[in-house]
Amino acid sequence: MNKTRYSAFKVLKEALTGHKGWEPTWRDAEPKADGYDVVIVGGGGHGLATAYYLAKNHGITNVAVLEKGWIGSGNVGRNTTIIRSNYLLPGNEPFYELSMQLWENLEQDLNYNAMVSQRGIMNLIHSDAQRDAFIRRGNAMLFADAGCEFIEAKEVKERYPFLDMDNPRFPIKAALAQPRGGTVRHDAVAWGYARGASDLGVDIIQNCEVTGFNIENGKCLGVQTSKGEIKAGRVGVCVAGSSGRVMAQAGIKLPIESHVLQAFVTEGLKPVMDNVITFGAGHFYCSQSDKGGLVFGGDIDGYNTYAQRGNLPVVEDVCSGGMAIMPSIGRARLLRMWGGIMDMSMDGSPFIDSTEVDELFFNGGWCYGGFKATPASGYCYAHLLATNESHEVATAYKLDRFRRGAIIDEKGVGAQPNLH
Amino acid sequence: MIINHPLLGPRDSEEFVYLGSTDLINRPTNWEEEASAEDFYQYQYIRENIAGDHQELWYHEQGDQSWLVVTRNTLTHEITNVELAQDVSRAMGRGK
């Protein structure tokens, strides 16, 4: 592999020599006739990260990533780019903290500018009960070395004067912040992992839809695709959003419903918000992109769907959440809105596990928290695919946890996927 | 989305609360048996998650508080049939 290292020197050199030395970021491959040790279904952030860590951490390079469209065309390019590790439950928090640590070193590791910006995330508190709950969560974060900061109302007001502190229904009483949280340029995560994996020998095969699994005597031997049959020693499905459709081809039903989550961006504005702010009394989260647009989102639409578009009631709900904490947002015009499909699991937590079919593995159920998990998801899935054992921070993410009563329900709403 | 309520005519989906697949009508009745644990697990947690025509339960919370069975395509959001859930439930041989 001829790996071009990106650096300021390289940019300068290319600028002076007519930009003739740039190469494609990754190698576009076609399926090999004799198959692969591992085939990963799904060329999104998680699938590409899995391929990268399989090659880098475990030395398994005879790997293909199959993508139905183009890489990064799913949820890794549709999210609101937020990263954080402010979870409460022991099944989740160490996993998301590993993810945060991987984000912190991602660009050095990949030699790729993913614009990781630890600008901080601030969750607003609107009632005394919520203050208690957030202090508990803050303590859980401190236990996991994730770090947190409790900010009293006076200081919240000083830092963010545009917030409506004395809103009669949703007064802002305080905030819990994670200074290490922030945002990442989401497309660059897919491209960076693709480049890293490709350089280590992984085949990235685009426009290659999986249409079936070759299963004999309970063992998966490969996949059927729009580019023909591909033999595989092991298959890792990693298609959150489409998990129901893909796993149905293997005859496996999941504790998952597919739902649509919408996201929004306003026209470009002057710098107003230097962090990520979330509303605690409804569902609204917002940050400002480097281009100036306010990027925000809220609840899922709430009904089963595989259509990558939503309906207007949730648009109104999300925007009214924004108006409740920062009325000035009402003056901004929406530039774009879009939808992505979420694997909503029965307890709001994901799966990284083997399945009832030998050599067929499953990664999914990320609900609407998959982007921040990308590095750790790939890291732990690669560990599972390489060693047959769950990584120590992902041991709770088993498919049979509902049967055992070992649910990981951060929100405590039970087996009602559209409420997580 | 507009849901064509069998009694009230076309109503905005915003008036409704969504529960999930019509499979949720079929709560296992063998709760006294040891083996029912597996049936309840399947009932409570495992979903078909259909891509295509999906029969699902909607509750008309801001209307007449009836439960409806709506047949809706999960790829296009097109609604092709709406029935009262009690009629569907009775046709399955269950109570209302």
User: What's the pLDDT tens digit per position in B16-40?
Assistant: 999 999 999 999 999 899 889 999 9
pLDDT at residue A2, rounded to an integer: 54
CB contact under 8 A, B47 and A415: no
Domains of chain A: 34-81+186-255+347-419 (3.50.50.60), 116-182+257-345 (3.30.9.10)
Quote the mean pLDDT of chain B: 95
- Asked whether the beta carbons of residue A307 and residue B74 sit closer than 8 angstroms, the reply is yes
Q: Mark yes or no for CB contact A253/B51 under 8 Å.
A: no
Q: Across the interface, do A303 and B14 touch by the CB < 8 Å criterion?
A: no
Q: Are strands B79-84 and B67-73 parallel, antiparallel or unpaired?
A: antiparallel
Closest CB to B47: pick one of A253, A302, A306. A253
Contact A303 B18 (CB under 8 A): yes
User: Pick from B12, B44, B74: which is nearest to A304 by CB?
Assistant: B74
Q: How far apart are CA A353 and CA A115, in angstroms?
A: 31
Per-residue pLDDT at A117: 97
List of chain A residues whose C-beta atoms are within 8 Å of the C-beta of residue B16? none
In chain B, count H helices and then E strands.
2, 6
For chain B, the residue count is 96
8 Å CB contact between A259 and A305: yes
* Chain A environment of B74 (Cβ under 8 Å): 258, 304-307
Q: Counting Cβ atoms within 10 Å, is residue A409 exposed (0-12), middle (13-18) or buried (19+)? A: middle
Q: Which residues contact A180 (CB under 8 A, 6 or more apart)?
A: A85, A100, A104, A118, A120, A146, A147
Kindly give, in sequence order, each residue whose CB lies less than 8 Å from that of residue A271, ignoring residues fewer than 6 positions away. A288, A292
CA distance B78 to chain A (A): 11
Confidence of residue B60 (pLDDT cuts 50, 70, 90): very high
Q: What b/e readout covers A285-302, taking b as 16+ CB neighbours within 10 angstroms?
A: bbbbbeeebbbbbbbbbb
**Res. B95: pLDDT tops 90:** no
Residue B88: Cβ within 10 Å count: 17
Q: A411: distance to nearest CA of chain B, Å?
A: 17
B41:A305 CB<8 A: no
Task: Answer yes or no: do A415 and B75 touch at CB < 8 A.
Answer: no
Confidence tier at B46 by pLDDT (50, 70, 90): very high
Measured CA to CA in angstroms, residue A416 lies from A87, A283, A348, B94 at distances of: 20, 17, 9, 23
CB contact under 8 A, A257 and B1: no
Q: Does the complex come out with an ipTM higher than 0.90? A: yes
> Which of A244, A346, A418 is nearest residue B51 as measured by Cβ atoms?
A244
* Distance from the A311 Cα atom to the nearest Cα atom in chain B, whole angstroms: 7
pLDDT number for residue B96: 63
Cite the DSSP H helix spans in chain B: 36-45, 85-91
One pLDDT digit (tens) per residue for chain A, 420 residues:
557 899 999 999 999 999 999 999 999 999 999 999 999 999 999 999 999 999 999 999 999 999 999 999 999 999 999 999 999 999 999 999 999 999 999 999 999 999 999 999 999 999 999 999 999 999 999 999 999 999 999 999 999 999 999 999 999 999 999 999 999 999 999 999 999 999 999 999 999 999 999 999 999 999 999 999 999 999 999 999 999 999 999 999 999 999 999 999 999 999 999 999 999 999 999 999 999 999 999 999 999 999 999 999 999 999 999 999 999 999 999 999 999 999 999 999 999 999 999 999 999 999 999 999 999 999 999 999 999 999 999 999 999 999 999 999 999 999 999 999
Cβ atoms of residues A84 and A178 within 8 Å: yes
CATH number of B2-91: 3.30.2270.10
- Give the whole-angstrom CA distance, residue A44 versus residue A373: 12
Q: Which amino acid is at B2?
A: I
DSSP category for residue A162: T
Q: Which amino acid is at A24?
A: P
Indicate which of B49, B57, B59, B69 best probes the interface with A, i.e. most A CBs within 10 Å of its own CB: B49
Distance separating alpha carbons of residues A208 and B93, to the nearest angstrom: 46
* Numbered residues of chain A with Cβ closer than 8 Å to any chain B Cβ: 243-245, 248, 253-258, 302-307, 311, 313, 346, 402-403, 415-418
